[in-house]
Amino acid sequence: MGYLKKALYVLALPALLVLLWWALTLNSDSFWVPKPGELVTTFREVWIGPRFREDVLPSLTRLAIGLVVAIVVGIALGLAIGSSRVLRRLSEPVLEFFRAIPPPVLVPILMVLVGVNDTMKVAVIASGCVWPILLNTIEGVRSMDEVLSDTAKVYGIHGSSRIRMLTLPAASPYYITGIRQALSIGLILMVISEMFASSSGLGFTIVQFQRSFAVTEMWSGIVLLGLIGVLLAAIFSFVEQRVLRWYHGLKEVEHSE
């Protein structure tokens, strides 16, 4: 019964929106807004087949690589900067400067430095995703319980053992929040990186549909992007619940008291 209730919560609003969309377009002949049935048919014809393998899978691969690079770099730098007061003071102005630069602005620069290839697209994704992970990791290390830190010192836990046993678990609620934020940023940058001097990818295909006035096909690509976002969020939520099981359990105990 609990799963049925959750399913109703998840599906109720989308179902209502689709029903409203169907009602509003029932007697419409608008070229710009397709009917739900037309969109479903076009979606199946366009994306279920070779185009998914040729355009969507490479895009998702670049997104995954960019996210992994951002996670590794963001957590590693965040641990180093968050653990050192001197490094925090030295790096704060530089971090604020680079964080304020919108990643799409870097696309022309990366095209010149790296070239128009997959590496450039991965670099664009990583350059935007790294900041929420990095900044949240720094905050997580800074917010670490002083009692735990002092206890680790008393027991002689230093170096890599301290990072593995204390710092990483203690900061995990923070950098996992940063990874959640990076997912949506990465999806946006995946599309943007494929709009510049590209010949394949989901972003490139959507732009090509728009330029050729294939409106229903363009909308089907936008719907696919939304579905990918929902799927990524669901997968991440599943992983997060298991990785942070101890944290959520602690919160439940605190609330019960």
- CATH number of the domain that 162 lies in? 1.10.3720.10
CA distances for 6 relative to 10, 251, 252, angstroms: 6, 22, 20
Q: What is the rounded distance in angstroms from the CA atom of residue 38 to the CA atom of residue 172?
A: 45
Query: Token pair 């691969």 is at which residue?
Result: 61
- Domain count for the chain, please give it: 1
Measured CA to CA, the distance from residue 109 to residue 106 in angstroms comes to 5
Residue 240 lies in a domain: no
Owning domain of residue 190: 56-197
Q: CA-CA distance, 131 to 181, in Å (whole number)?
A: 10
- Rounded to whole angstroms, the Cα distance separating 237 from 142 reads 25
- Establish if 6 belongs to a structural domain: no
Instruction: pLDDT tens for the chain, 257 residues: list them.
Output: 566 777 777 788 888 988 999 898 888 888 888 999 999 999 999 999 899 999 999 999 999 999 999 999 999 999 999 888 888 888 888 888 888 888 888 888 888 888 888 899 999 999 999 999 999 999 998 888 777 777 777 777 777 777 777 888 888 999 999 999 999 999 999 999 888 767 788 999 999 999 999 999 999 999 999 999 999 999 999 999 888 887 766 666 555 55
Question: Does this model's pTM top 0.85?
Answer: yes
The answer to whether residue 43 is domain-embedded is: no
101 within a domain of the structure (yes/no): yes
